[in-house]
Amino acid sequence: MRMPSAYCAAAALAVLSFGFGAGALAQTYKSDDIVKHFQPAMPAPLTRTMCVGTEADCGRAGQVVKTASVAAFDLVVRFRYNSDVLEPDAKINLDEFAKALRTPQLGSARFVVEGHTDAAGSPSYNFELSQRRADAVAHYLGEKGVAASRLLPRGFGPSRPIAGDPLAGENRRVETRLSSD
């Protein structure tokens, strides 16, 4: 699968996105694509020099110390208005996500499952709804064999909109991110 170059160049961020309704983009990903995304980059060639000291000391001596990092891979699940029910398109992609998380390569990775809402309704109701959405995704992934200890569901309500309009449907979502803990 080829990711748009804007994602790679801007933040090395790949996004799984699916939804429904007017203008919604339905996209299906495969578990192999997810696993490949997390494969470590090829290490830099080894040199025959050695620097004793801190990374900063070696940098001043002209030796660059590079550490490998893996770009984030976000899974975005969209919801209907006032709903925490997973739609069929969401389940198809969550099945592939769960399959990827069960592979040996990702078998120990932990994820934060972040629930979000639009700004319609009271803040307290929206925070509760966003937590239900995050719990629905974590529960579904658990049913597909992902250990609950690897998932941290958290509700954010309308506090982190992704669309300019706080009432936009794009804000009704769950994002699943690799945990840095």
Distance CA 155, CA 158 (A): 9
The pLDDT confidence band at residue 107, using thresholds 50, 70 and 90, is confident
3-state helix, strand, coil in the chain (%, to 5): 35, 15, 50
Region 119-141 average pLDDT: 96
The pLDDT confidence band at residue 98, using thresholds 50, 70 and 90, is very high
Region 145-158 average pLDDT: 96
Q: Quote the percentage of the chain above a pLDDT of 90.
A: 45
Domains of the chain: 5-41+74-178 (3.30.1330.60)
SS (H, E, C) 6-64: HHHHHHCCEEEEECCCCCCCCCCCCHHHHHHHHCCCCCCCCCCCCCCCCHHHHHHCCCC
Enumerate the β-bridge partners of residue 16: 75
Residue 99 has pLDDT above 90, yes or no: yes
pLDDT tens-place string over residues 34-43: 787 766 543 4
Region 128-138 average pLDDT: 97
Of the given ranges (15-24, 76-85, 104-113, 123-132), which has the lowest mean pLDDT? 15-24
Q: What is the pLDDT of residue 51?
A: 59
| Amino acid found at 175 | E
Distance CA 181, CA 159 (A): 23
